[in-house]
Amino acid sequence: MLKVLIASNNIQVEPIINELEALGHEVTLIHSIEFAKEEIFQKNYDIIFIDYKESQKLSEKEVFEIRYFSHVPYELPIYILTENEKSKIDIGKRLIYSGVFPYNHSLNMINEFITSIHPLNTKY
């Protein structure tokens, strides 16, 4: 089981949450990146998804701190959730995140994707 944090206020996130929970993962949904930042440093997560618009509110330094200092000694995977093609995301932003995940994914995509993520010795 993975502990997943999603920072999004987009209605399209519901199917992703439903699929993750159906696979047995623990999902925390927070609508604001400001509240999510507090949560990230208080609890440990195995993976984070951030809505594209919310990701724009984070500086490169904040993303770096979240990825490398919130879950030492592991690098926390942080993915941008997007409605658009990933080619439309600024290359600088794409480089500081682990990758991009589309809201409009295929039914098996979340299962295939999440099985490649391994728990980072999460402290419960």
Distance CA 24, CA 73 (A): 25
DSSP state of 120: -
CB 9 within 8 A of CB 17: no
Domain formed by 3-114, architecture: 3-Layer(aba) Sandwich (3.40)
Distance CA 85, CA 45 (A): 27
Which residue's entry shows tokens 């658009």? 84
Per-residue pLDDT of the chain (124 residues; tens, 9 = 90+): 899 999 999 999 999 999 999 989 999 999 999 999 888 888 889 999 999 889 889 988 999 888 887 766 678 899 999 886 655 666 666 678 888 888 887 667 777 777 777 676 545 4
Q: Is 53 exposed, middle or buried (0-12, 13-18, 19+ CB in 10 A)?
A: middle
Domain boundaries, the chain: 3-114
Full-model pTM: 0.86
Distance CA 34, CA 51 (A): 13
Q: How many CB atoms lie within 10 A of CB 93?
A: 16
How high is the pLDDT of residue 114?
77
Question: Which residue, among 70, 68, 121, has the nearest Cα to 98 in the 3D structure?
Answer: 68
